[in-house]
Amino acid sequence: MIIVLEPNTPEKEVQNLITEVKQNGVEVHRSDGQSYTILGLVGDTSKVQESPILSNKWVHNLVHIQEPYKRANKIFKPEATIIEVAGHKIGGDAIVVMAGPCSVEGKDAVIEHAKAVKEAGAHFLRAGAYKPRSSPYSFQGLGKEGIEYMLEAKKETGLPIVTEIMSIGTLDEFKDVDIIQVGARNMQNFALLKALGKTDKPILLKRGLSSTIEEWLMSAEYILAEGNPNVILCERGIRTFENYTRNTLDVSAVPMVKRLSHLPIIVDPSHAAGLWWMVDSLSKASIAAGADGLIIEVHPDPAHALSDGAQTIKPQQFAKLMIEMDKIAKVLERHVI
Amino acid sequence: MIIVLEPNTPEKEVQNLITEVKQNGVEVHRSDGQSYTILGLVGDTSKVQESPILSNKWVHNLVHIQEPYKRANKIFKPEATIIEVAGHKIGGDAIVVMAGPCSVEGKDAVIEHAKAVKEAGAHFLRAGAYKPRSSPYSFQGLGKEGIEYMLEAKKETGLPIVTEIMSIGTLDEFKDVDIIQVGARNMQNFALLKALGKTDKPILLKRGLSSTIEEWLMSAEYILAEGNPNVILCERGIRTFENYTRNTLDVSAVPMVKRLSHLPIIVDPSHAAGLWWMVDSLSKASIAAGADGLIIEVHPDPAHALSDGAQTIKPQQFAKLMIEMDKIAKVLERHVI
Amino acid sequence: MIIVLEPNTPEKEVQNLITEVKQNGVEVHRSDGQSYTILGLVGDTSKVQESPILSNKWVHNLVHIQEPYKRANKIFKPEATIIEVAGHKIGGDAIVVMAGPCSVEGKDAVIEHAKAVKEAGAHFLRAGAYKPRSSPYSFQGLGKEGIEYMLEAKKETGLPIVTEIMSIGTLDEFKDVDIIQVGARNMQNFALLKALGKTDKPILLKRGLSSTIEEWLMSAEYILAEGNPNVILCERGIRTFENYTRNTLDVSAVPMVKRLSHLPIIVDPSHAAGLWWMVDSLSKASIAAGADGLIIEVHPDPAHALSDGAQTIKPQQFAKLMIEMDKIAKVLERHVI
Amino acid sequence: MIIVLEPNTPEKEVQNLITEVKQNGVEVHRSDGQSYTILGLVGDTSKVQESPILSNKWVHNLVHIQEPYKRANKIFKPEATIIEVAGHKIGGDAIVVMAGPCSVEGKDAVIEHAKAVKEAGAHFLRAGAYKPRSSPYSFQGLGKEGIEYMLEAKKETGLPIVTEIMSIGTLDEFKDVDIIQVGARNMQNFALLKALGKTDKPILLKRGLSSTIEEWLMSAEYILAEGNPNVILCERGIRTFENYTRNTLDVSAVPMVKRLSHLPIIVDPSHAAGLWWMVDSLSKASIAAGADGLIIEVHPDPAHALSDGAQTIKPQQFAKLMIEMDKIAKVLERHVI
């Protein structure tokens, strides 16, 4: 951490600040430049209170040197984290694909959908039981029942399941779910993150609509700090000024997360653009950029899906995509199938 | 709602779509233009399922005409909503000012802070008991105890209190709180909004960091739709590319909300910029733009505040600001004092 | 300037980098922290080549301490710059108002418009002769002829004139123009900025649609560095995700520019929101925030204006606004009338 | 084009508006809905003046149905435009790669750099003679001399050249340049676009830092409308809140442009992230997403490049990347080598 002082800060004020900062148990290295005096804080700066520093009127700026996340930081754990779920290793050479309808639409429906994606090669069944919708008048999902139907589909097909949680109060309903998803809008629902950190479930943590990678890793840190090491990051498009697409896939988040963190990262090409015809291109781009997996919306009849039909592909398109993605993965010495 | 079809859509497909859409109980007006055919949906379009339309490959675009919010919409309730809390009318001619420390720091501290802001003219005491912090290693607030200390401060000073909720599980602790605040990061925590909609408490709903005014009003709609009409909107700065300020105050949100909705709107000039020396200018600008109130961080010793000292002003600055804001308010035929 | 090295950088590489950096004539202060080694560069860092540093694979990060602008920087010129144009002091206690139609529509028209805004109290006539339009098929302005008509209007009314330049090749046509405007889309047209820096004309430099205040001041620096000290900054709204308004007025840019620079700053409330009915609120907010002036679109018949009628107010609305703005200005010990 | 009227618009006003709009030679289809009356304009709406409509106080909203670009629009020219430059077909099955240093550093240097990229498989030499820099104190390029050195390099190696223009006044210097580049900051320098539209040179049009795809295509339209059909679009990263990367590659712009327009699109993976180690991943992702080419910064000694060393890869990294990109291209039935 570096403190930059205002030009012409009185020497007495510099000394007062140094004394105050040292009470946090850090060393202070001082450099006097042409216009600015700089204080470098050396040691464990994680306990330094920033508030008193920032409210000091002689402080021009406070610069962080070290990333604020620790357990998510590759510096402190250089080897990649591989999360094993139901026999699948997420974060290894194999690229994991989760597929299924946007929403659970009924028991028979979700079983049919599970069979269709399994046949096309999916490794996990994804579907929404609790649905975060911007309008209170939109379909809100089947809730608890939806999860039960997914578990039936798991029994029928053997596919492990991924579904979203929206509230701590429903955590018990997720005890047989294989991966619990935290949606973009809840990425900074810290109470929920803490509760999930106390479980040992794999958590699929979606990036917030306009959050930075640092904020995202700090949200992962909330889960890790409570003792749950099983966090899978999911890039799902960020908000930009572009409005031909619903969101904008930040494909560079894939190599960046791989450089900064040991956690696995997958991509959601369906929400990223919100356009079914773009899922193909964005999936291939994600594999080429090094993603560890994909989560894709697939439905046999998108025009009659209960939600997000506009971004949903059909099982036969998905099957073809699996084969082509596998070819690209092989160029990178990985594989999808 | 208007559906724009792709150029050269086969007539059979146009007919199929019209038939499908009509099943929602709306009338369809067709216009054939030079390159596009357009279908105008007339009637109650709120039940029209968009998913089948958007996933139809002959649909070029779907345009909304009507705002998606109803109860928050001025069209359906033209007169301004005035929310009365502890004798203060929020949304009327009087401009209401909420002030206090970022965090509750202890019983004696919050009582002292309450006295200081009361003396300077504040109408409400604001303080944080539960604190949403981007790092799990930062001070997370005193929680339940913090609320109890605020209630003590209320008893001592008579100031009604405003404090933030972060989780449905703690709702009981807020039964004597006068206004419950929903923070920017929880603006789309729909489970929380629904739970608050089932109470009759006034809710201070902060705008999300990068949400549009429409999304914000849709979050208000979640509360209103459950039966609680007491929503106060709070503009607190949005995320932009500017990084000299923490956020960017969207002062135009004030006249825009006044035009679109009947709900009262206040401004948080402290979080908006994150800079104590800018609170003065932004507060005055907010009053001049027509805000119904302000929520300001005030602390006698910002350098030793437990959080957000950088954006906190001192009681004497606050007292001076109250007098100057009142002069500006009078130009608009309103008043602060 | 501070260089942060990667953890475990070999000592030999640290030494190489220090040697290389010192060749720029700066001193290097080294601090060895827990995980990072930090090199503080002290002295005149303006000549340090960043490229070799950033491409060094042992460099984790490079942090700037000093603002990159010099002549625009308040540190190096603490007293406010007051630019005198045709008897008006821009940047002093008097708040200067520029008003007029979006486009020059003809000789008689612009004379009539000039008379109308003069009568309502405007100090300058603004109008567009060259119009930057996003479509090549939209009205592109009357060009050279438009400027001649404005000069006629100046002769008739005595109002000094402000109009926009779009290309260096037309510079000669602006020799009698009082203030030359650079539009938002040309804020980083560096060739144009350099050419204007070689004149002694006052330049009204609009902020780019999504540029930071630092970038804006760097564009001012381009003009100042060529020897022209007469730069007036103009905040005109930035691009955000909000789409009820065309842009979002960044009212905090006013106090921020006042703190960082000695240059005067005015506000364009017409382009900021793109909505005529919001001009009133945004103008008042700008005055309350400390702006040195305003540039407002005024036209007697907005519905038949050749461009931007949606954001244009009528002379009688403008006259009323002048009176109300003056009252707010007086609270700040300034004046409009 | 669709006009939405305010609720309760008096019938007389509706009639007035219809009469006024019809003067533009379009038909008007009227639909009366529950709360809104809608007017659909049918026919050639390109001549409809929007200004009078938008300034009409009974108009709630104006919605565009048709894309505002015509010559760039795939609807009016469905077959892909293939631009042949020096024997290379840009927009065909072959993926074209342009490579070279950020800046021309001297005659011998640029010849050496050209040889290095040619040997690694590049099809074009790219380098900057005129450099748009945010600081007036940074190296501004060798200018005219730089172009002459590039032409020498072309003579030596046979590689056609690509370089950036910053001002109309220098257009003559580009007469032997194979492709003229317009930089992101000049994307809406309309005077420059018009001048380039009057030539028959291939123009590489970079996307503005925060412009939408529609705005970008409208800038292409400026060139096309003047008669020059040879426009190559270049996605180079957009501004987002992420600051670990300099910009954010919008990889979805590739399939979107392919769907909306017939123009070829290439990607600049160097500026997109500003990080040399990410060029590899982003190049592969671009190919996988369907890009027609790449423009990459390559320099034998990035640490001593005169600009942008941080985003520059070495010839041997580039050679390896060419081989791997070719493998990915082959999955899509295209080729790089």
pLDDT digits over D268-307, tens only?
999 999 999 999 999 999 999 999 999 999 999 888 887 7
In a domain, D266, yes or no: yes
Return the residue matching tokens 């997109």.
D272
Distances (CA, A) of B282 to B272, C115, C269: 8, 35, 16
pLDDT: is B34 or B60 the higher one?
B60
Indicate the pLDDT class of residue B304, thresholds 50, 70 and 90: confident
Q: Where are the alpha helices (DSSP H) in chain C?
A: 11-22, 50-54, 107-119, 144-157, 190-197, 213-225, 253-260, 269-273, 279-289, 315-331
CATH number of the structural domain spanning residue A51:
3.30.70.1140
D260 at interface of B, judged by CB pairs closer than 8 A: no
Q: Residue D281: which CATH number?
A: 3.20.20.70
Measured CA to CA, the distance from residue D80 to residue D249 in angstroms comes to 24
Domain count, chain D: 2
CB contact under 8 A, A307 and B51: yes
> Under an 8 A CB cutoff, do B2 and D29 touch?
no
Q: Is residue C90 part of a domain?
A: yes
Q: What is the pLDDT of residue D64?
A: 82
Residue D250 gets which letter from DSSP?
B
Asked if residue D52 has pLDDT above 90, the reply is no
Contact predicate D61/B67, CB 8 Å: no
CB of D179 closer than 8 Å to CB of D154: no
Task: For chain D, say whether C169 makes contact (Cβ under 8 Å).
Answer: yes
From chain C, pick out residues whose CB is under 8 angstroms from the CB of A63. Answer: 2, 63, 65
Fill in the amino acid letter for A101.
Answer: P
- Tell whether D122 and D59 lie within a shared domain: no
Q: How far apart are CA C191 and CA C208, in angstroms?
A: 16
Statement to judge: residues B214 and B273 lie in one domain: yes
Which of D48, D49, D55, D239 to mutate: most C Cβ within 10 Å? D55
Residue B73 contacts C where some CB pair is shorter than 8 Å: no
Q: Are strands D37-42 and D2-5 parallel, antiparallel or unpaired?
A: antiparallel
In D318-337, the residues whose Cβ lies within 8 Å of chain A are 324, 327-328, 331-332
A82-110: pLDDT as tens digits: 999 999 999 999 999 999 999 999 999 99
The range of the structural domain enclosing residue A158 comes to 83-331
Q: Which residues of B touch A273 (CB under 8 A)?
A: none
Q: Does D42 touch chain B (CB under 8 A)?
A: yes
Please tell me the distance in Å from A256's CA to the nearest CA on chain D: 8
Is B65 within 8 Å of D38 when comparing Cβ atoms? yes
| Same domain as B102, residue B57 | no
Chains in contact with B, where contact means 3 or more Cβ–Cβ distances below 8 Å, are A, C, D
Task: Return the residue of B nearest to A210 by Cα.
Answer: B210
Chain D residues touching residue B34 (CB < 8 angstroms): 42-44
Distances (CA, A) of C194 to A92, B44, C54, C220: 54, 58, 28, 10
Question: Pairing mode, if any, of strands D2-5 and B59-63?
Answer: unpaired
Torsion angle of the four alpha carbons D17, D23, D28, D31, in this order, in degrees rounded to the nearest 10: 0
- What is the arithmetic mean of pLDDT over A123-131? 97
Residue D69 lies in a domain: no
Flag whether B92 is in a domain. Answer: yes
Residues of A in Cβ contact (< 8 Å) with B307:
51
> Across the interface, which of C68, C137, C192 has its CB nearest the CB of D135?
C68
Same domain? C101 vs C59: no
Residues C246 and C129 in one domain: yes
B267 DSSP β-pair partners: B235, B294
C77's enclosing H/E stretch is none
Q: ipTM of this complex > 0.85?
A: yes
Q: Does B239 touch chain D (CB under 8 A)?
A: yes
Q: How far apart are CA D238 and CA D250, in angstroms?
A: 7
How much is the pTM?
A: 0.95
Please tell me whether residues D51 and D115 are part of one structural domain: no
**Locus of tokens 């620790």:** A70
The token pair that represents D328 in the structure block:
């990915």
3-state secondary structure of C231: strand
Same domain, residue pair A52 and A119:
no
B227 close contact with D: CB closer than 8 A: no
What three-state secondary structure class fits A142? coil
Same-domain status, C6 and C42:
yes
How, if at all, do strands A83-85 and A59-63 pair? unpaired
**Residue among D250, D285, D324 whose CB faces A331 most closely:** D324
What is the distance, to the nearest Å, from the Cα of residue D177 to the centroid of all Cα atoms in its chain? 18
A303 — phi, psi (to 5°)?
A: -65, -20
Enumerate residues 6+ apart whose C-beta is below 8 A from D63.
Answer: B2, B63, B65, D1, D2, D3, D4
Given a cut of 80, whether residue A236 has pLDDT beyond it is yes
Question: For chain D, what is the mean pLDDT?
Answer: 94
Task: Lowest mean pLDDT of B196-200, D50-54, D228-232, name the range.
Answer: D50-54
Domain boundary among C33, C63, C93: C63
SS (H, E, C) chain B: CEEEECCCCCHHHHHHHHHHHHCCCCEEEEEECCCCEEEEEECCHHHCCHHHHHCCCCEEEEECCCCCCCCCECCCCCCCCCEEECCEEECCCECEEEEECCECCCHHHHHHHHHHHHHCCCCEEECECCCCCCCCCCCCCCCHHHHHHHHHHHHHHCCCEEEEECCHHHHHHHCCCCEEEECHHHCCCHHHHHHHHCCCCCEEEECCCCCCHHHHHHHHHHHHHCCCCCEEEEECCECCCCCCCCCECECCHHHHHHHHECCCEEECHHHHHCCHHHHHHHHHHHHHHCCCEEEEEECCCHHHCCCCHHHCECHHHHHHHHHHHHHHHHHCCCECC
Cβ within 8 Å, pair D135-C209: no
Mean pLDDT of A237-250: 96
Considering C10, C30, C63, which residue would you say is the last residue of a domain?
C63
CA–CA gap between residue D35 and residue B246 (Å, rounded): 41
B54 and A310: CB-CB below 8 Å? yes
Report how many Cβ contacts below 8 Å link chain A to chain B. Answer: 120
Q: Looking at the domain assignment, is residue B219 inside a domain?
A: yes
C103 falls within a domain:
yes
Of B31, B43, B241, the CB nearest to D29: B31
B76 and B67 Cβ atoms separated by less than 8 Å: no
Nearest chain A Cα distance for residue B335, angstroms: 30
Domain shared by A88 and A59, yes or no:
no
Nearest to A203 by CA among A226, A184, A238, A178: A178
Give CA–CA dist D276/D270, Å, rounded: 7
**Residue C64 has what pLDDT?**
82
- How far out from the chain centre does Cα B73 lie? 15
Cβ neighbours of A259 in C, within 8 Å: none
Chain C residues inside the 8 Å CB shell of D46 = 137
The H-assigned helical ranges of chain A are 11-22, 50-54, 107-119, 144-157, 190-197, 213-225, 253-260, 269-273, 279-289, 315-331
Nearest CB to D289; choose among A250, A252, A284: A284
In a domain, residue D242? The reply is yes
What is the structure's pLDDT at D267? 98
A279-289 and A253-260 helices, crossing angle to 10°: 30
Q: B137: which chain A residues are within 8 Å (Cβ-Cβ)? A: 46, 225
pLDDT for D33: 76
**pLDDT, tens only, A258-292:** 999 999 999 999 999 999 999 999 999 999 999 99
Range in A7-11, A42-46, A275-279, D217-221 with the lowest mean pLDDT:
A42-46
C-alpha D33/C-alpha B72 separation (Å) is: 20
D304 touches chain C (CB under 8 A): yes
Choose between D135 and C192: higher pLDDT. C192
| B134 CB within 8 Å of a chain D CB | no
Task: Looking at the structure, tell me whether residues A52 and A106 fall in a common domain.
Answer: no
Angle between the N-to-C axes of helices D315-331 and D279-289, in degrees from 0 to 180, rounded to the nearest 10: 20
D82 contacts: CB under 8 Å, gap ≥ 6 = D89, D90, D91, D92, D264
What's the sign of the alpha-carbon dihedral D224, D226, D230, D231?
A: negative
Mutate to test the interface with D, among A242, A286, A324 (most CBs of D within 10 A): A242
Assess A33–C contact: CB distance below 8 Å, yes or no: yes
Classified as helix, coil or strand, C253 is helix
- The arithmetic mean of pLDDT across residues B230-246, rounded, is 97
What's the sign of the alpha-carbon dihedral C125, C222, D106, D323?
negative
Please report, as a single letter, which amino acid is at residue D70. K
Task: Categorize the per-residue pLDDT at C168 as very low, low, confident or very high, splitting at 50, 70 and 90.
Answer: very high
Whether C71 is in a domain gets the answer no
- Identify the residue among C95, C252, C287, C294 best suited for mutation to test binding to B, counting B beta carbons within 10 A and taking the highest: C252
Q: What is the CA radius of gyration of chain D?
A: 23
Claim to verify: residue A229 and residue A282 sit in the same structural domain: yes
Beta strands in chain D (DSSP E): 2-5, 27-32, 37-42, 59-63, 83-85, 88-90, 96-100, 124-126, 161-165, 179-182, 203-206, 231-235, 265-267, 293-297
Q: Which of B40, B75, B241 sits opposite D7 (nearest CB)?
A: B75
Q: How confident is the model at residue D12 (pLDDT cuts 50, 70, 90)?
A: very high
Query: Residue C238 — pLDDT band, cuts 50, 70, 90?
Result: very high
Q: In this model, does residue C200 exceed pLDDT 80?
A: yes
- As a whole number of angstroms, the distance between CA A90 and CA A97 comes to 10
How far does chain B reach from its first CA to its final CA, in angstroms? 47
Q: Are C261 and C130 in the same domain?
A: yes
Name the more confident of C30 and D222: D222
